[in-house]
A and B are shown apart, each in its own frame.
Chain A
Amino acid sequence: MDREQSHGVFTGLLRRDLKLAVRAPSQWLNPLLFFVIAVSLFPLGIGPEPNTLREIAPGVIWVAALLAAMLAQDSLFRADFEDGSLEQILTSPHPMSMIVAAKVLAHWFITGLPVIILSPVLAVLMSLSFEGWWALLLTLLLGTPILSLLGAVGAALVVSVKRGGVLLSLLVLPLCIPVLIFATAAVKTATVGLSIEGQLSLLAALLAFTVTLSPIAISGALRATGGGG
């Protein structure tokens, strides 16, 4: 197996998943819609006072992003499991972690990236300042790939479980707590005009750590559960 061929598998799968997402948009549009609705419920529940909203904005946006990511993650391997494509992936001689990386990257493009693109709208809805929004953007950029990777571990573990969506959240949400803590702290710090380099470095370190280790866990989980059924 030469490098070029493996590269072909990576881009081929990436393109396949993006193509599928374009042809069946509901699987990623719905979580996105959920994200926007969930955030806009808070002003209705708490009150439109801009200062209060500004105070809770980082937490609200990040928690909603977390929940939306969990909703979207469920479809990552399930469709492949149900139509047998996962068996083809598992019986492929190509390195599993590379295949998994392609799938997670594709999934981030359709679930993580739209959240980032929508962030200015949400910042306006929640009366965030420009500094706050900028920090939010940076934390989302560093944080959503971590959510995708951790979520993929969960999605791989529950792939054979019917209606495993809730279980997925139960497994993965506790693991996402550090991301939530550092990201919201960064946005809060930025709104009072302080430097957020520390929080961003911590998030970047988390990202590097997750990118390195989670493909191994995802492949292991798929091998453990994906062949059944």
Chain B
Amino acid sequence: MWDWFHRLGSPKYFYGFAGALVPWLAGLCVILFAVGLYLGLVIAPSDYQQGDSYRIIFVHVPSAWMSMFVYVLMAIFAAIGLIWRVKLTAILATASAPIGASFTFLALATGSIWGKPMWGTWWVWDARLTSELILFFLYLGFIALQTAIPDRQTAWRAASILLLVGVVNIPIIHYSVDWWYTLHQPATITKFDTPSIHLSMLIPLLIMAVAFKVFYITVLLSRARAEILDRERKTHWVQDLVRSEQI
């Protein structure tokens, strides 16, 4: 098992392994999305308060979950990279950042679209939306730092420290924003805070959550493959690969 992990850490092996996995994952992802969206948008009943507009939660909630999940995962990659110097971690975290940022953006956009009919305005300084916005800034900071430092190794080492600092701060930021929100807006309905969600809504939500996760893995692996080719373009195995592809 350990041996397998070790081999997986080598970019060449990972490239092949990911290449074999991607088509299957992509297929699974399409099926999950189809089922989840069908159940969520067609089968699930309307909400008695919000009507049909609540259905955006099937996109909003999974993307909000993923935005957090991807950041923490990147921080784990960073820690592994700093401690064990595994090359692959840099590739995986770098490839994850734009995906995570997109999830965050999607969560913000869907939250804002949902807010229009509910609150009558595109943006409300709701605690969760605010936290999500700050998370978005953290993603942008990571990407900006990595692109600003020309040397890849240095960039990754700096960016991993930023990730670790960020992940330590996220709970504090989250708590402070919650506290700030309750201070300024006591006793309003918190958004999406359905006390007991009906099973016919919960099931599509969970399916969508899994679909988002599979989608993330699929895109991550494809992006990581491209990143590997770019980084290892001088090695023999990549050049052999390119030669054989051309024929």
Interface set of A (CB-CB < 8 Å, partner B) = 153, 157-158, 160-161, 164, 167, 170-171, 173-175, 177-178, 181-182, 185, 206, 209, 213-214, 217, 220-221, 224-225, 228
Contacts and interface: CB of A to CB of B under 8 A. Distances in A.
B166 A175 contact: yes
A206 B172 contact: yes
B contact face: mostly helix, strand, loop, or mixed: helix
A175 B161 contact: no
B92 to A, nearest CB: 19
Contacts of B175: 178
Given A170-B137, A228-B154, A178 B173 contact: yes
B38 interface: no
Interface in B167-188: 168-169, 172-173, 175-177, 179-180, 183
A161 B148 CA distance: 7
Nearest to A209: B172
* List of 9 A-B pairs having minimum Cβ-Cβ separation, nearest first: A224-B157, A178-B176, A174-B137, A171-B141, A181-B176, A181-B180, A161-B148, A221-B161, A157-B158
B144 A177 contact: no
Contacts of A209: 172
A160 B179 CA distance: 37
A214 B172 CA distance: 15
Contact of A181 (B140, B149, B179): B179
Interface in B38-84: 82
A164 B150 CA distance: 13
A228 B151 contact: yes
A220 B175 CA distance: 27
B134 interface: yes
B149 A161 contact: yes
Interface residues of B, number: 29
Nearest to A171: B141
B138 interface: yes
B31 interface: no
Contact of A160 (B82, B154, B165): B154
Nearest to B164: A217
Contacts, number: 72
A161 B158 CA distance: 11
Contacts of A224: 154, 157-158, 161
12 contacts: A153-B165, A157-B161, A170-B137, A171-B162, A174-B134, A174-B141, A175-B169, A177-B173, A178-B176, A182-B176, A217-B161, A220-B161
Q: Which of B141, B144, B151, B165 has the most CB of A within 10 A?
A: B165
A220 B177 CA distance: 29
Interface string B118-161: 00000000000000001001101100110011010010011001
Contacts of A221: 158, 161
Given A167-B144, A209-B172, A225-B149, 17 more contacts: A153-B161, A157-B158, A158-B145, A160-B149, A160-B154, A161-B149, A170-B140, A171-B162, A175-B169, A175-B173, A177-B176, A178-B175, A181-B177, A181-B180, A185-B183, A217-B164, A224-B161
B164 to A, nearest CB: 7
Interface-centre pick from A164, A175, A185, A214 (highest chain B CB count, 10 A): A175
A177 B141 CA distance: 15
Contacts of A185: 179-180, 183
B154 A170 contact: no
A177 B181 CA distance: 13
Contacts of B172: 178, 206, 209
A21 B233 CA distance: 48
Nearest to A221: B161
